[in-house]
Each structure stands twice: as C-alpha cells, then as structure tokens.
C-alpha cells in the first residue's frame, strides 16, 4: 500500500479545502471499499481526509414528508430508521440486501453511493482495465464477464480505450434512483445539488469516471422526496445472502381502480450506473395493472439490451424479476397502505 | 507515516505508534499480540476478524487503526468477564459449533452483534415486514444475519442452534 498522510478536518469546508490541495488525495468514509482497494494497489491516495464523523450522521425530516440523510449515516442505521422502513421500504430492503451486517455497520451513505465496481479486472492490477488504467484495454469484454452489464456498455474492442462493460455494484443507489433522490455536494466553489440520475455515468468514451463529481467535491447529504406509493426491492444473486446482484429491481407502484397511475422502476446489476427504466415507466402509466402490461413494459425497456457472450441470461432474468415485483406490488391496495 | 494513537481494547488502554497504513486487525494481532480476532481474507469477505467497536460488529481488517479514536474495541476474549466465559462461548462449546475454531472468535462477536441488533428491532433481508416493531431470531434470521461470517469447516448446522439458545435466553426468540 502506498504511504499516505491521515487528516481529520474541523468541518466539511476544511475537509474540502484539504482535498482541493491534494490532487491525489481521497475522502475516507467507512473505508470498507477504499481501504480494500488501497490494499490491492488499485487506489493509491497520498492523503486521506476522514469524513466519516464529519459529515452528518442524522436522518432529518423534510417538510414534504421526505428525508435528508447525512452522508455519514451508517448503512445499518439507515436501514433501521423507522421512517425509512415505513415510508421507503424499497430503501431499507436495498440496504439490507447489500454486504453483511458488519460491513453495513461501518459503511456510510456517501461511501455506498460512490463505491467502485467489483469487476475482477479492475481489482487486479496485473490485468488490462480502462477504468483503473486508462488506455490499457478491457479484460472483461472477451474474458470473464458473466456478471457484467447488458445495457449501456461501451463495446469497441478489447484494446479500445473507451471499452467498458462493467456494472455499478451498489444496491442502495438503485433504490435512491427509483426514489428520485437529490445528492447534496460541497465543493471548492460552494454547494450544488445533483439529481441522482445525473450522478452516476455510463462509460461513454471515458470509463475511468464513475460519476459526474469533480475532485474534492464532498457528498454532504442525500434528500429523498416523499413517495406516496408502496415500494419494494428485489435482488437475485448466486447465493442466498452476502453476494452482489446478478439483477436487482427497485420498484414503486400506484394502482387505482386496476389502472397504473404512477410507477418507478430502476434496475441494478445491468449497467455501469443504476438503470432507471424510463421507457418501461412511460409504457405502463395508464395501463391496466396486469401481468401482460408489466411484461410488455419491461420488454420495451430491454429491447435496447446488448448482452455479452456469457451474460444473456440476465435479459430474461431482469424481465421476470420486474414482472414478479410489480405483480407483488399490484396485489396491494395503495389507498389502504397509505391510510 | 507514523501516527501516535491509543487503542482501548477489552478494558485496557494501549498507547502505540502505528504507520497510518496499519489496520485495526494488524494493530491488535501484530503489535498488541491480541490474537483472538483472526485474519482470514483481509478483504471484508469472511468475518474472521470481526470485533465490536463501541458495541457494533465490524470487520477489523477494513478499519484503519488511526480512525478508531476513543472507540472501545471488544474482542471475543473481552466478552468473557473475570475469566467467566460469555453465554455465547458456553453455547458454542455445548453445541460443538466449530471444528478448527479459526472462525469462532469472529462468529462469537458477530453473534453478540446480532443479539443487540435484534433487541433494537433491526430488520434483516429475510424479515417479511421491514416496518415490524419487533423481530424474532428464527433460524432463517440467524442464517441471514450471520452471513458475513464464513466457516470453512462448515459448522453452520451447529452455529445456528448455538446462537438460537442464547437468543431464546435473551428474549429475542420464542
Ligand atoms: C465483501 C463485500 C461485500 C459487499 N457486498 C455488497 C453488496 O452486496 N451490495 C452493495 O451495495 N455493496 C456491497 N459491498 C460494498 C459496500 O456497500 C461498500 O463498501 C460501502 O457501502 C462503502 O461505504 P464506505 O463508507 O465504507 O466507503 P469508503 O470505502 O470510505 O469510500 C468509498 C468511496 O467513496 C468516497 N467517499 C466516501 N465518502 C464520501 C463523501 N462523503 N463524499 C465524497 N466521496 C466520498 C471515497 O473517497 C471512496 O472513493 C460489499 C463490500 C464488501 C467488502
Ligand atoms: S469492464 Fe470496465 S472495469 Fe472491467 S476490465 Fe473492462 S474497463 Fe475495466
Ligand atoms: S479477515 Fe476481515 S473479513 Fe476476512
Ligand atoms: S470452525 Fe473451522 S473455519 Fe469455522
């Protein structure tokens, strides 16, 4: 591991200033991802600015019934928060579906959002990977990619510097995308708010960048607006627990008189970012809440899928997981749930 | 780069200078010779290094020692009071809940963690209704909540009842 200086700051602005002066530095949350990557030689910061206790550990009520979640709130505490469990079950379930009890106790909301991919070529410094080492190529395209993306990849040949076919690993972020969360950021130039759908990126021509954040920008909180409909998270994985998603779905559904009034759908395990299924949502609004409509909607979303040699199974898997989850939600009466 | 810290472990304070790269696990084992937390994977994947940090279970292999501050570290050894084994230690012995024993201190710390989490009413991925006020540590709940602790000897079949007995005694299981 590269040597580094360890810093604590007096307040968030001081932390931002410290990192602005350290182009190779990084913020440290719970460290469950960053320390791991430092051991592997994948992350090589020369300064760590510890923000775990500096960013808020509070979940505060917003006037509209939403919540402001401090970036320092541990994953375990967020999943256990009574308001999250009652108003946003999809978020509690997504958090509980991720990692282990020990990891969730230490991991923070900010760190979870910004955790890096689990692609085996990214985490092995002896392998080509455009994300870790821009221009070195993509080992996964022709290699081991059974759990890689089926949507939105950049596929331009193994040696092309733009190629990247990996996924974003966070479960929490998938729920946050379905919930239209807003990420609050403090940077050297002040504060800004980023709709979460604009935080994570597709690889495009630069797979090295996971997000639209600039160096030194600190996530201070995530705002989750009121939802007002039943929601749930469902994750399919290779073993029953403690494994990353093959496919996951965060869904919310508002059915009145048998008709879909509103729907939110986001998929995990399928793309470089949590995938908001906007096409499916568009098709579904105003349709009868039946299995046939749900299947037609998700199929319209998956028409764009470009599966790799070994992960075509994810296309029907995504379809089935979405249909099953929407059927579960449709079996419940929105009026009664919200009473 | 060295940093001067004081680690509070199982009731004793240990001042020491550590390289900032030192994990809590390595500080405990290599520097303080407190060896009940074990190193399995060193990447958060196996749970052998689990300790309680201010009463919450964490993977000590992913915690940098310099970040610990005043937090109280409790290892499986430290759960015993005046050399009297903890109820979980006794239950693991009674149920033969290990073979080589390498994963056991981590299992015991994790089990202590899940008992506290269940008392606080925290749900898990297998809890049917995440909004329920109370949880009961059924066998399914124990398996899910202990999934961050691997056992290469596969003593799981005995670990679950070992934890279940203590859960019953503590009122978080019928
Ligand atoms: C064995 C294992 C299994 C796992 N399984 C899952 C799983 O199934 N599902 C899942 O979703 N996750 C899983 N995880 C990942 C886990 O959820 C993340 O490691 C964790 O959420 C990261 O949070 P942290 O606070 O520890 O982040 P850190 O490791 O501290 O930081 C992660 C990144 O975020 C940056 N950062 C941290 N805080 C801020 C901030 N406030 N502002 C700006 N940048 C910041 C850091 O610089 C770093 O780049 C697993 C991890 C392990 C080790
Ligand atoms: S898929 Fe992306 S992360 Fe994986 S090797 Fe290719 S460029 Fe790297
Ligand atoms: S040694 Fe820490 S989890 Fe394996
Ligand atoms: S008893 Fe041998 S690893 Fe668990």
Band (pLDDT 50/70/90 cuts) for residue A332 is low
- The strand pairing partners of B58, in sequence order, are B51
User: Considering chain B, what percentage of its residues have pLDDT values greater than 70?
Assistant: 100
The arithmetic mean of pLDDT across residues B112-130, rounded, is: 97
Do A174 and A266 touch, CB atoms closer than 8 A? Answer: yes
The beta strands (E) that lie in B20-128 are given as 50-53, 56-59, 72-74
pLDDT digits (tens, 9 = 90+) for A22-69: 999 999 999 999 999 999 999 999 999 999 999 899 999 999 999 999
Phi, psi (deg, nearest 5) at residue A101:
-55, -40
Buried b (16+ CB within 10 A) or exposed e, A103-126: bbbbbbbbbbbbbbbebbbbbeee
Report the DSSP beta bridge partners of residue A223. Answer: A68, A182
Residue with tokens 């007096």: A10
The conformation of residue A115, written as its DSSP 8-state character, comes to P
B101 and B39 belong to one structural domain: no
Residues B92 and B160 in one domain: yes
pLDDT tens for each residue of A61-104: 999 999 999 999 999 999 999 999 999 999 999 999 999 999 99
Residue B91 placed within a domain: yes
Domain span at B164: 87-169
The set of residues, in sequence order, having a beta carbon less than 8 Å from that of B20 and lying 6+ positions away, is: A3, A4, A5, A6, A48, B1, B2, B3, B64, B66
Query: Angle B103-B108-B110 (CA atoms, 0-180°, nearest 5)?
Result: 95
In the sheet with A259-268, reading across from the earlier edge strand, the strands are A231-236, A247-256, A259-268, A275-276
Assembly ipTM: 0.98
Q: Is the pLDDT of residue A280 over 80?
A: yes
Give the mean pLDDT of A317-336: 85
- pLDDT above 70 for A337: no
Q: How many CB atoms lie within 10 A of CB A194?
A: 18
| Ligand 1 near A163 CB (within 6 A) | no
SS3 B29: helix
Q: Tokens standing for B165?
A: 């007995």
Task: Identify which of A4, A30, A101 has the shortest CB distance to residue B145.
Answer: A101
Instruction: Give the Å distance between the CA of A212 and the centre of ligand 4.
Output: 44
CB pairs under 8 A between A and B: 118
pLDDT, average across residues B78-99: 97
Does B17 share its domain with B75? yes
The CATH topology of domain A231-329 is Enolase-like; domain 1 (3.30.390)
Q: Which ligand 3 atom minimizes the distance to the CA of B44?
A: 3
* Domain range summary for chain A, segments of one domain joined by +: 1-51, 231-329
pLDDT recorded at residue B1 = 84
Parallel, antiparallel, or unpaired: how do β-strands B2-9 and B72-74 relate?
parallel
Q: How many structural domains compose chain B?
A: 2
What distance in Å separates the CA atoms of residue B109 and residue B86, rounded to the nearest whole number? 11
| H-helix or E-strand spanning residue B79 | helix B76-79
User: Do B53 and B94 lie in a common domain?
Assistant: no
* CB-neighbour burial class of residue B68 (10 A; exposed 0-12, middle 13-18, buried 19+): buried
- Are B73 and B91 in the same domain? no
Is the confidence at residue A275, as pLDDT, over 70?
yes
Ligand number with the minimum distance to the CA of B102 = 4
In a domain, B61, yes or no: yes
* B98 and B71 share one domain: no
- The verdict on B163 and B91 lying in the same domain is yes
Residues B60, B132: one domain? no
* Final residue in a domain of this structure, among B31, B55, B79: B79
Q: Is the pLDDT of residue A333 over 60?
A: no
> What pLDDT does A220 receive?
97
The whole-angstrom separation of Cα B64 and Cα A103 is 14
CATH of residue B114's domain is 1.10.150.120
How far apart (Å, rounded) are the C-alpha atoms in residues A78 and A104? 9
User: Which among A160, A120, A110 has a CA at the least distance from the CA of A138?
Assistant: A160
The residue from B62, B79, B96 where one domain ends is B79
Angstrom distance (rounded) from CA A54 to CA A52: 6
**Residue A196 has what DSSP assignment?**
G
Which tokens go with A18? Answer: 């410290």
Cβ-contact A15, A51 below 8 angstroms? yes
- Supply B43's token pair: 């990447």
Q: Measured from the CA of A33, which atom of ligand 1 is nearest?
A: 29
What SS3 state is found at B56? Answer: strand
Per CB-CB distance under 8 Å, the chain B contacts of A103 are: 44, 59, 62, 148
Using alpha carbons, select from A333, A331, A172 the residue that is nearest to residue A250: A172
Q: Report, as an integer, the average pLDDT of A245-273.
A: 97
Please name every residue paired with A248 in a beta bridge, in sequence order, or none if there are none.
A235, A268
Mutation to test the B interface, candidates A91, A100, A111, most B Cβ within 10 Å? A100
Element (H, E) at A69: strand A67-70
- What CATH number corresponds to the domain at position B29? 3.10.20.30
How many Å apart are CA A240 and CA A242, to the nearest integer? 7
The overall pTM is greater than 0.80:
yes
**Closest by CA position to A280, among listed A311, A257, A249:** A249
For chain A, give the mean pLDDT. 96
CB A141 within 8 A of CB A104: no
Quick check: A93 contacting B, CB < 8 Å? Answer: yes
Residue B174 lies in a domain: no
User: Do B73 and B144 belong to one domain?
Assistant: no
- Do B91 and B163 belong together in one domain? yes
Q: What is the pLDDT of residues B153-167, one digit of tens each?
A: 999 999 999 999 999
The class (CATH top level) of A1-51 is alpha beta
Helix (H/G/I), strand (E/B), else coil: A149? coil
Same domain, B71 and B106: no
Give one DSSP letter per residue of A229-287, joined into a string. Answer: S-EEEEEE-SSSSSS--SEEEEEEEEEETTEEEEEEEEEESSSSS-EE-HHHHHHHTTS
Last residue of a domain, one of B24, B51, B79: B79
Q: Which of B23, B41, B44 best tests ligand 1's pocket when mutated (most atoms within 8 Å of CB)?
A: B44
Q: Does A106 touch chain B (CB under 8 A)?
A: yes
């Amino acid at each position: 591991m590269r040597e580094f200086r360890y810093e604590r700051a007096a307040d968030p602005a001081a932390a931002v200033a410290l990192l602005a002066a350290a182009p190779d530095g990084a913020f440290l949350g719970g460290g469950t991802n960053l320390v791991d990557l430092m051991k592997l030689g994948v992350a090589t910061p020369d300064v760590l600015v510890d923000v775990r206790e500096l960013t808020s550990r509070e979940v505060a009520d917003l006037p509209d019934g939403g919540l402001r979640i401090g970036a320092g709130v541990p994953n375990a505490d967020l999943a256990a928060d009574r308001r999250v469990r009652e108003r946003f079950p999809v978020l509690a379930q997504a958090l509980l579906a991720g990692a282990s009890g020990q990891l969730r106790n230490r991991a923070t909301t900010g760190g979870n959002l910004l955790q890096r991919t689990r692609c085996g070529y990214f985490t092995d410094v002896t392998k080509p990977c455009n994300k870790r080492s821009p221009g070195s190529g993509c080992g996964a395209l022709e290699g081991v990619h059974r759990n890689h993306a089926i949507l939105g990849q950049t596929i331009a040949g193994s040696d092309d510097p733009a190629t990247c076919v990996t996924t974003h690993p966070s479960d929490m972020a998938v729920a946050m995308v379905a919930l239209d969360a807003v990420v609050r950021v403090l940077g050297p130039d002040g504060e800004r708010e980023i709709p979460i759908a604009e935080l994570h990126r597709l690889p495009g021509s630069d797979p090295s960048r996971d997000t639209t954040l600039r160096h030194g920008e600190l996530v201070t909180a995530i705002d989750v607006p009121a939802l007002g409909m039943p929601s749930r998270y469902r994750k399919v994985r290779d073993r029953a627990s403690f494994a990353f998603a093959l496919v996951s779905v965060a869904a919310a559904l508002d059915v009145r008189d048998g008709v879909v009034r509103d729907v939110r759908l986001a998929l995990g395990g399928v793309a470089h970012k949590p995938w908001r299924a906007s096409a499916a949502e568009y098709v579904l609004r105003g349709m009868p809440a039946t299995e046939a409509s749900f299947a037609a909607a998700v199929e319209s979303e998956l028409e764009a899928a470009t599966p790799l040699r070994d992960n075509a199974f994810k296309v029907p898997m995504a379809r089935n997981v979405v249909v099953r989850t929407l059927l579960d939600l449709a079996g419940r009466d929105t009026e009664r749930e919200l009473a | 780069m060295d940093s001067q810290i004081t680690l509070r472990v199982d009731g004793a304070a240990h001042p020491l200078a550590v390289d900032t790269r030192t994990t809590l696990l390595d500080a405990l084992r290599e520097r303080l010779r407190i060896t009940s937390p074990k190193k399995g994977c060193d990447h958060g994947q196996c749970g052998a290094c689990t300790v309680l940090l201010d009463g919450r279970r964490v993977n000590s292999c992913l915690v940098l020692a310099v970040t610990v501050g005043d937090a109280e570290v409790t290892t499986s050894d430290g759960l015993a009071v005046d050399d009297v084994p903890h109820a979980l230690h006794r239950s693991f012995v009674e149920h033969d809940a290990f073979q080589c024993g390498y994963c056991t201190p981590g299992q015991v710390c994790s089990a202590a963690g899940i008992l506290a989490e269940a008392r606080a009413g925290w749900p898990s991925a297998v809890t049917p209704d995440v909004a329920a006020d109370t949880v009961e540590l059924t066998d399914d709940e124990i398996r899910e909540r202990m999934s961050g602790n691997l056992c290469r000897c596969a003593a799981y079949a005995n670990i679950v009842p070992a934890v279940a007995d203590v859960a019953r005694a503590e009122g978080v299981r019928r």
